[in-house]
Amino acid sequence: MLNMIRCILTKPNKCKPLFDKTKDQTYTITKTNNLVAFVGDTVDIEPQSQMPTTYPNVRNFKRNPNIPSPCSLVKICKRNRQFYVAIVCNLKPFQVVLLNNDTILSLQFPVWPISSTLHIGKRIIVQLGITWADYVCDATCYTTDEIVTKLFQLEHNYCPVPNPITVDDSQTIDLTHLTTFTVDSAKSTDLDDALSIDQTNHLIYVHITDVSRFIPAGSLLDQRIMERATSFYLPETTFHLNPTEIVKTCSLDPGQVRYAVSTIIPYDPVTYAIKMDQISHTRSKIQSYRRYTYDEANSSLDPHILLLNTIYLKNKQEKIINNIITESGCKPTNSPLKTILLYPENDWNLCIEFYMVLTNEYVSQYCFEKFKNAIHRKHPFPQNKDEFDFTQSLMKQPQSLDYPAEMWLLLQSLCMELSYYTPNEVGHFALNKPFYTHSTSPLRRYVDLVVQRVLVGDVSYSIHQLEIISDVANRQHAKRRQIDDTVIALKDLERKKVGMTFAGVVTRVSRNSINVYLIDETRLVKVEVPSNFDINPFTFVRLSVSEVFNKVIYKVINKNDV
């Protein structure tokens, strides 16, 4: 029977017992038995005799506690790191090299189907198992999508689609005569919003696909999509909120007659001012004649496209809105947030956001005043007002114009609280709206479907039901943010190299770490620093990549330097 001790690797050949109360016992691994362990792995070891044979009286030998005892590596119990970056060094047989500051390891796969995308020198992601024999390991090469799918347990798990609900269509208006079109990204497959404009009656229509017709409240499918709450988008894979049948039935594809819930927005034919107090909605039947991408809409000479964009720009000039993208669109001029221009003034990203924000604001206020019980999107006032005011004052300085708008927008957001769903509170600080919700993407967000049911009067929810739905949605949206961060981190592993340098600005200082916004990368990274590291927020620094293994590790190489 082996006298095994469970330890954790503290250095490439050093380990400490997991359950050592004194914390002074250490072991040196002198025999690996063809097992390869990394720092942080949990292992089983067998201590070896340390009695020297050259001493004449071994009875008087006592182990020096400052000298690690020798041991033999018996078993790897748990890997500290799941995924590793490797470089392909050979294709037949398929071999990779793992690179780290303390380990350079060559791995050969027993069987690996050679892909056309693989070549010598390519960086890949490898998952290592715990068994090893003759340096042939049970490693597996995964794509970014496969890693994220495994980590977050994503699955295409749907149930049969139920029969549609029975709707009294006597109040459904036929709007198929209108020139209706969609504007989305080129990769979008679930088109859930469209626009029309009636120049004769001076009306703008924002059409949202009527998903509530096809998913009965309380059905098995309804329960399943409530648990998922949102669609998840990976680089090459989409985990849709709804089954493919629902997406195909409801997506506002060109040439297809679809049911919708249409928000009707009157405008002044002379000044183009939006008549906010006259907005209404109705169930409708529409037919899209064309799908535009954002780039196509920007360059289109279609008179409907041009007029809708003109109305947006005129309202902007009349100080109804201003150009800032926050969580979901534009903000009014009297918002406390400083204006930042992320897109050209006539960009259709902003134009679509403008009409979606108008719709969400109207729907939230209508549901609150008529039904009381509805889900709203709450964005609270910043808790750290001093930090927020300091950021605002910094952004007003002339030198702030020399840096990307995205950086200042991120600095603003870091001072603010996260938005969340709730049936009990209203008001959106960033948008400066007394009422706001999400209602324009019922194919992609479950909350939008719930709000749509309330809006058309199909379902009356209790406060308790809406609280449960809001809690689930908030958790799942936090999960989606984690997925986005993981995708970025994995892509960093594939392209970052030790020694690469980046300019950034410190956004937050903690006890043993700082958050740095990388200016060229337009994103935030965390950098570990000593507890006595002296640096202030909004200091410009230069970082260097010090390690690329299971994550990219940065170190500060120069302060006040960009």
Calculate the CA 101 to chain-centre distance: 30
- The enclosing H or E element of 552 equals strand 552-559
Strands 280-293 and 173-174: parallel
Instruction: Read off the pLDDT of residues 481-492 as tens digits, 9 standing for 90 and up.
Output: 888 887 887 777
Within 13 Å and on the Cβ side, how many CA atoms surround 371?
Answer: 25
Query: What torsion, rounded to 10 degrees, do the Cα atoms 556, 480, 329, 463 define?
Result: -130
Backbone angles phi, psi at 203, to 5 degrees: -130, 135
3-state secondary structure of 326: coil
- Written in H, E and C, the secondary structure of 432-498 is CECCCCCCCCCCCEHHHHHHHHHHHCCCCCCHHHHHHHHHHHHHHHHHHHHHHHHHHHHHHHHHCCC
pLDDT at 279: 94
Single-letter amino acid code for the residue at 262: S
Domain spans, the chain: 5-78, 83-142, 169-381+417-490, 493-559
**Ranges of the chain with pLDDT below 50:** 1, 53-61, 101-102, 132-139, 318-343, 398, 401, 562
- Radius of gyration from C-alpha coordinates of the chain: 30
The half-sphere exposure of 32 on its side-chain side, counting CA atoms within 13 A, is: 14
SS3 406: helix
Helix (H) or strand (E) holding 349: helix 348-370
Report the alpha-carbon distance of residue 43 to residue 45 in Å, rounded.
6
Q: Give the burial string for 113-150 (b: 16+ CB within 10 Å, else e).
A: eeeeeeeeeebbbbbbebebeeeebebebbbbbbbbbe
- Residue 131 pLDDT: 56
Instruction: Give exposure, 332-344, as e/b (b: 16+ Cβ within 10 Å).
Output: eeebebbebeebe
410 φ/ψ angles, rounded to the nearest 5 degrees:
-65, -40
Candidate CATH numbers 3.60.10.10, 3.30.428.10, 3.40.50.300, 2.40.50.140; the one for domain 493-559: 2.40.50.140
Task: Determine the pLDDT at residue 51.
Answer: 52
176-179, long-range: CB < 8 A, 24+ apart: 176/257, 176/285, 176/286, 176/287, 178/205, 178/286, 179/289, 179/304
Separation CA 367–CA 281 (nearest Å) = 12
Angle among Cα 314, 318, 322 to the nearest 5 degrees reads 85
Tens-digit pLDDT profile for residues 317-334: 543 333 333 433 333 334
Per-residue pLDDT at 19: 78
- Residues contacting residue 97 through CB under 8 Å, at least 6 positions apart: 86, 87, 89, 104, 105, 106, 107
**Number of Cβ within a 10 Å radius of residue 38:** 21
